[in-house]
Amino acid sequence: MSRQKTRSQLDMVNQINMTPMVDLVLLLLIIFMITAPLIEYAIDVSPPKFTQDQKKRPDNEKMVTVSLNSKGEFIYKYRALSEAQLFQELNTLYKTEPKTPVMIRADAKQPYERVIDLLKVVSRSGFENASLVTQAEDVK
């Protein structure tokens, strides 16, 4: 016995089902929302090269040097200090000489987080003028 299709059954076949298309659009939206922030980190950034004649400080200007050695220790005045001790030393100095620039020297093998920790200590102690020390590029 053959089945005959009624008019209502034929109409249902001719209509486009929107549900899969909406699912696809939402899926694409989610993919773009996840990948868009990642594109920012894929940008290749070349920091400016440092040459000896770019910026020189006056020879008579006093500055403070704080170092982060290869062991991850904070060094101030040739002494290894904890984070709290370094904060106390810098805070005491800031009370007497607030305009003194702070030079931060960090070992290249130290993770970025440790350098940020050192910057936070310098900032919390009150100093606003902090600079990172880099090695000069060999000019050929």
DSSP 8-state symbol, 48: P
**Could you report the per-residue pLDDT of 10-39, keeping only the tens digit for each?**
666 677 788 999 999 999 999 988 887 776
pLDDT tops 90 at residue 85: yes
pLDDT tops 90 at residue 79: no
**Could you report the per-residue pLDDT of 95-131, keeping only the tens digit for each?**
998 888 998 888 878 888 888 999 999 999 998 888 8
Average pLDDT (56-74) is 77
Closest CA to 106 of 139, 63, 135: 135
Domain ranges of the chain: 64-132
Round to the nearest angstrom and report the end-to-end CA distance of the chain.
93
- Can you tell me the distance from the alpha carbon of 140 to that of 136, in angstroms, rounded to the nearest whole number? 12
Mean pLDDT computed over every residue of the chain: 78
Q: How confident is the model at residue 43 (pLDDT cuts 50, 70, 90)?
A: very low
| Under 8 Å between Cβ of 86 and 123 | no
What is the amino acid identity at position 82?
S
Instruction: Provide the strand spans (E) within the chain.
Output: 64-68, 74-76, 79-81, 102-106, 130-132
DSSP helix, strand, coil percent of the chain (3-state; round to 5): 40, 15, 45
Q: Does domain 64-132 have CATH number 3.30.420.270?
A: yes
pLDDT the model gives residue 121: 92
